[in-house]
Chains A and B, each alone.
Chain A
Amino acid sequence: MPDTAATANAPTVEDALALGLTREEYDLACRFQGGPPNQVELAMYSLLWSEHCAYKHSKKLLKTLPTEGPHVVMGPGENAGAVDVGGGLVCAFKVESHNHPSAVEPFQGAATGVGGILRDIFAIGARPIAVLDSLRFGEPAQGDDRGERFRGRVGQTKESGPGLGGGVEAGEEDPKRGDAARAYARARYLLDGAVRGIAHYGNSIGVPTVGGEVYFEEPYTHNCLVNAMALGLAPRERLIRSAAAGPGNVVVLFGASTGRDGIGGASVLASAELDAGGDDAKRPTVQVGDPFEESKLLECSLELLDRGLIVSLQDLGAAGLTSSAAEMASGGGVGIDLDVALVPLREPNMAPFEIMVSESQERMLCVVEPGRLDAVLALCAKWEIGGSAIGTVTDSGRIRVFDGSELVGDMPVAALVDECPLYDLSPARPSEPIYPAPVATLARDAPARETLLALLSSPNIASRRPLFEHYDAIVQSRTVRRPEETDAAVLAIGRGSDASPAGEEEAGPAGGVRARANADAADRDVVGGPVPALAVSIDCNGRRVAADPYNGTVEAVLECAANLACVGAEPLGTTNNLNFGNPEKPHIAWQLTESVRGLGDACRALGAPIVGGNVSLYNETPSGPIYPTPVIGMVGSLPDARHAGRLGFARPGDTIALVGPFAPSLDASELSKLWGCALPEGLPAIDVAAVRSAQFAVRGAVRVGGLSSAHDIAEGGLAIALTECCLASGLGADVRLDALAGAGGDGDGDLFRVLFGEGPGGFLVSGIATGVRALGRRTQVRVIGTVGGEGLRIAAGGVNLSATLSELADAHTSLRELFP
């Protein structure tokens, strides 16, 4: 306990409570400190012992997850996980949430979410190659006045550019419409801001946004979810860990200067429930992103690594210098002395505790041997970013914070990082439904054709094109399939630039970079050799997880693997972001516990271990918790991108088949939502082995070019999957489902189950008849029709459903109205 001015007005237990610590946690901190912590120390304890940093309600559960496998190079605990993808390359990847900041200020919240996950990737030495996003909002409109509500004033936020972030919530408040209209306007405001924010950061830094998902459900109205996933590539030998080492080595802070943005973000924002409508006061704690700064930071970081100038590297994310320094020291079993007076500031008169907890973006910390300090600082100057030696590695096992010569904080590293109390959950299956039934928007007696069009235009199924057109999906020239062409993104790898240092080729004139593009092109295109590729998918249907946390989570994992199978890719590893409500409540604890059990079981069954992830808890407001949303991101590999699958039908005359152990049910389906049905108490049990066999069969057939198209059956069931296959290519289809519809035998009810029912394990494939039937050696194959014609025609149980492609396309483009 330093005897300084800082201790004279020592904070009290009330301050600790306000910062989010419990009374018991405060007492424990006092014991480690030998007395009450001063302001700097209390700020640091409160952040590192927050849920966000310490995972104190989830750590015990996370330990049950499978984290090892033949491809895993770096598992959980580092900035990102990594898997071996062959050719001396590793793929680093991770998903992370920026939910609370995005609910407060969607543009900057989402932008810095992308910035943060990209830093995690290059902090381990990988060059980011792709971003995906997983978004959840409230309903943007509902029911028969959808058209009117879509004419809301989302466009009002369009002045919000970088740094401004649209302070005004869009949507005209018509008092007659009341809460519902306000909720719709809020969903559209958050959607628009988040999409613009992701686009702003990803596009500006030159990393393609290649995939993602978005769902609209009432429980996300006041607590949206913005999860961002990134992938990077590195030569295996360039991977670096964050552990500090070597007492006497210098700690260098580089990148942007430090300001007051994001102060208290981790504890105040991320570890407490949001108050409904009370978000304005929290806006100053949202960070502001600068992708240009990060672009330079990225290049500088990778060049530092390529030139072997640094010992370890860590990005500054939540809790800023506090968590970065503590994690680096903890990882290396050393201490660190920092002098906040040496930190470049962007505003005057910042207190030492503010500098220690600032979440200003685009900053990194590295450890450097003293002899290389000048070279490191020179490289920072080359890239026109700040670089300052702010501390040293010690053997004290303590984090000591100085302000010039004055010691203003002194804490044992182990206490900060390892001694945060972990809590046991008290899970209890809820006796009452947690979520109200959705508002019905479609009559149960609506005929099949009307139902199909209603589903197609419903926000969860309609084309995502108006969203993903905001994103550059092709920069870096490795995007083999564009959004909506496949179920999973496909990225070519192993090109000349991936394997060599400095991200590229040999030195050109004046030390610049020279293309050996001729040789590269010869490798790939002229000689015609295989083009190895990665595939990636991100998925979670929160409504199904809400209906059954265990099976719903298993389904999300299977869905990712199914998406990979459709392009011919085999899973290598998995990342996850567990978005849940308040874990101190027994029913949320039950959701979390069951979900993690399902996640572990499914990943084990698929041989796709968890290599990293994130947990976002307390996603609830006074109106209730979000749907439990364990977002799954899965990376796989395929031997030759030239055979990557497509989802759209390709050739008139091709045979269409339903493949796999698909047993559709309307429980928790999109149709049941449109009908206004309450969630069921559980989903049917899943035969994971049978689903896996189907995936194996489809993957194998795609890889050898044996199919013209392959598409996973998901939201909206078989009829929607058929429609998507038609719309992706502009080819119609003639389908007979009598054999299927007869099975259940209760007339229309069963017809709707067959057409629109959902469940895991189903694929819709097309190809020459022999190729399609060959799948039958490994899984169930039911031939249901033929590709061709001007529209989609489905005959089932005496019902003939038909629609032209333009009718289908019109319904499918309904989200266009949200982006005027």
Chain B
Amino acid sequence: MIMSGSSTPKSLPTSGQKSLHDIKHPLSCSPGTEEDAAGVDEPLIIDTPSPDLVPTEPSSTADKDLSLPNGTPADTSSPASSSSLLNRLQLDDDLDGETRDLFVTVDDPKKHVCTMETYITYRVMTKTTRTEFDLPEYSVRRRYQDFDWLRNKLEDTQPTHFIPPLPEKFVVKGVVDRFSEEFVETRRKALDKFLKRIADHPVLSFNEHFNIFLTAKDLNSHKKQGLTLLSKMGESVRYVTSGYKLRARPLEFSAITEYLDTFALKLGTIDRIAQRIIKEEVEYLVELREYGPIYSTWSGLEGELSEPLEGVSACVGNCSTALEELTEDMTEDFLPVLREYILYSESMKNVLKRRDQTQAEYEAKLEAAAIKREERSGVPTEVEKCQDKVECFNADLKADMERWQNNKRQDFRHLLTGMADKNIQYYEKCLTAWESIIPLLQEKQESK
């Protein structure tokens, strides 16, 4: 899949998600900050979250309690808080009343170079107490197309559920380096999120293909089976789009569709704003990097003023480093979550269409039966089956929607408080820098 994707980059503009592929890493071309050790340390915490973090965390109620103290500015200066955004995002799948017995993490990406292709594999680690699994622990290596296979299988076998999205498959060649550290790390996080969402789902986590994906030594043998299933769904979706009007579409599903449309639209706007802010910040950073050293140059001309000017130069430098951290954090933690939710809502809309189609099928059959009823009495069992199917679909969707709403609320609460935190930290760092040079300036003046 990766191969076919990268070989046809021209198809992208029609995908409708074009903006998501653009400028994936605004920072990948920006200058690095090697000079400040503190500046390097913090992003590192974010980049390599401990895979054990999630399993060792207390369950849902405790998580909720944890998130509240985070809402106060008191803890923003603690060194651990910089990684809290990610931690929270990892924890947010907990739902009330559900005990977790399946823990999955994706880590340790590795590059494989073969004669035919170059690709990345990720280690998928599973810890579980479920009896469906033979062992309590598994560790397998999977590549992106394996995840893609899993998702397709889930879509086929669980058509009535919202399947979490995968990160974008296609990458515009030349714009993003598929093997760059940033890209691989962003994708790893998204894949990790994908599996975690499935693992926490009361239905999806019991899917046999998920089990196979987590445990099979050789996934390829499984992948070869049942390829024909794939085409089925495509046909039925086309059936709906042909313009059949539902007689009695339940209002709540219309509302959900409407909601998702607006939601995706607003998130798209937020995504564009966030990207634009990062772009502005990167440009601001470029200017700051030129601005600071001018004070140093000036300092070289002066005697008594030399030290104060040098101080301002250092201060601007510190602020630049803080700004770079802010943009990095926003690029790595903020944008991917927005994108996941945009993709999520797209795939959810497809499920809703499928529901409509199922209902349409039922209505068509009911109508046909009504005509036939003149001849024979009673509703045929086939129609009853269809009705059951619609009702099951509706029930599954409602449950999933509720789950999703809950997850979304937590995710965005954490995401947005995290954004506020990052900005507060940025300003605090700048504040410290500027405050530290005031005595330097004043002292000199008095000593004179």
User: Are A and B co-members of a single complex?
Assistant: no
Q: Which residues of A contact B (CB under 8 A)?
A: none
Q: Which residues of B contact A (CB under 8 A)?
A: none
